[in-house]
Structure 1
Amino acid sequence: MQVKELLELTTWIDKHIKAPDVAKKVHALHQVLEQNKNARNNQQQQPFEDQKNKLIKTIEAIDTASLTNEQERMLTRMGILDNIGPSGVAKVEDILFRNSLDVTTASNKIKEIFDQVSSATNTSDQLKSSLSPLVEGKDEDSDSPDSSDVLMSVRFQNEVSLSNVTDFKRLGSSWWEIGRGIAMAHDCAPEDVRIVGAQKGSIVVELAVIAAIATTTSTIILAALKVAERVLSIRKQVEELKGLKLSNKKLEAELEKEADKEKKEGLERIAKEVADALNINQNGDGEKYKVLEKSVKNLVDFVEKGGEVDFFSQGEDSDSEEHDKLKSNFSEIKKLEKRVLQLERAQS
């Protein structure tokens, strides 16, 4: 993760976790549960509906769609992500109602949430204090991305992981074609897609590109996920038919054929829509269209096999129309990724 990306996350925590007093509201609920836990037999239990409602209303409104995948993973490591948004609401409701926990256990579990949120905000404060001087005083060198650049983090994982030099050659060639096709579509050269960093673990390569290239890349990924959602929805119907044991093999075969057709036509449709948006004529710009089509195919294949592309906008020009489109695409990509993952799990 880039230093600026991490620093932006601390600002997000200030706004969405600290400002609405999430920790304070968790603590208020815990205090009532503690009173009830310690109440004697003849003492009346205190209601906690008000504290519960205030907490749920606050965490339900917290949306992580503006964060990169790396920032979300950091929230997980810090112990925040599972305690906010829909998952946080479900967690609180499970503790208080659904799992029929005794008051002592419920109080202890709410205390765990308080400790996690408090620890995370303290860690965020320490990071912000340490990182701010580094970012503000950093001397930019020639290899650093410009402030108008967008960083694309390409994560090689699952079926597109890098295990050996053969994988490196194959996937490196694939990404050269992806970069070349999209760059040419914007009258740029493959060299304009610059490698500015790398991380270990699941291999991550950080690319610096102009906003237009990043936006086109995100548009292709978004369209690919929409196709994947439709294909998986059709195949889900096939599985449901099998589950009903209606022995309608003809309908199952037709649905499978429809899924394959949707995937094939979807890929062709993506390339055409991107070309139309960039005013690339299939006949007049034959070479440009050809490399774009190959770029689309390779990028869709990379995402389908579990690869991940993350986007992070750099400072000053992040309010431009191009950056706004990128942010909108990325937010929609994250929502679609979750829906596609649910469909994939339903069929596994």
Structure 2
Amino acid sequence: MDFNEPEEEEFGFSRNYFLAKEAGSSGKKSARKLSDINVVDEQELREASANIEPKHQNDIAALVNSYKTLYPKWVFDLRCGFGLLMYGFGSKKSLIEDFASTSLTEYSVVVINGYLQSVNIKQVIIALAEILMEQFKSKRKTPSGNFPKLQQPFSSRSMDDLLMFLDGPEMDENDSFICVVVNNIDGPGLRDSETQQYLARLASCSYIRVVASIDHVNTPLLWDKKMVHSQFNWHWYHVPTFAPYKVEGLFFPMILAHGSSNQSAKTAVIVLQSLTPNAQSVFRILAEYQLSHPDEEGMAIDNLYCISRERFLVSSQVTLNAHLTEFKDHELVKTRRNPDGQDCLYIPLANEAIEKLLSEIS
């Protein structure tokens, strides 16, 4: 019996593996590129996706209906001071809003849609403070010593003062709390560190309870141990609904579609109309330059400053920088470098959209 047979067989496998890799690497590479894909218009794709016939509707309805038996337990958890965190595959927007509308009728409820691109967290906290103040007035009760100068409007108060007001004296047994329903607490409008810190402090306030949903697998990385256990005080519930993200998906561009030029121009018009006439004129200079020099990387900042100064649109580089900051904050203008290493400004829109934009603002 030859004991070397297994070793020779293993050597044969290894040799064949490297020969196959060598043959594969020596072959001709594909010339196909992602840009060759013939993508469709976003509106057309959305209409097609809306017409997809749903499956297993009866099973899904029975699953979601089974969660309603948990409503009393969820209310009990909130009364005990816990926050509710819903996770699982599928949109949970309808589920938690149905829970709020049917089981939290004796409490005030405020809904935050985290799937929106921008959410003003301070405006939310101001609204909560105003609701709480109305409850105090209706019960003829004043929070003692926790928010001085109550005659001053909430809109002029700092975030610390507002959160101090919401974190007043411990509630009596008969007192009610305000429930904050957060659809997608991991959404793009809420996932930055500062906003999550404010939400955690808000959740720890004595008059606030939070019911939230998450969908991103890495969401727990947004929180540290203190936020999870001491501030949010989450009670996790696995509630897969298998429901499509119809509402949440409206605010995100579809991967298989190119953006609509009409929609992009319409959004830019709205932003430009909120700016000063001089800022609009500076933007027009940049747009006209980009249309007349399609092969260039963009317009040099020094060039834009000289033309703007000649037309008496800016008096200094500082003034121009202020306009550019407005443009960049609203993503109307971006910066990239030309082959000479010089920073150039360009508008991230197709020529068709730029032309439409210029005709709109004229």
Shorter-chain TM-score: which interval?
A: under 0.3
TM-score (norm 1): 0.19
Counting helix residues as a fraction of each chain, which structure ranks higher?
1
Higher-Rg structure is 2
- Which structure's residues are more often strand, by fraction? 2
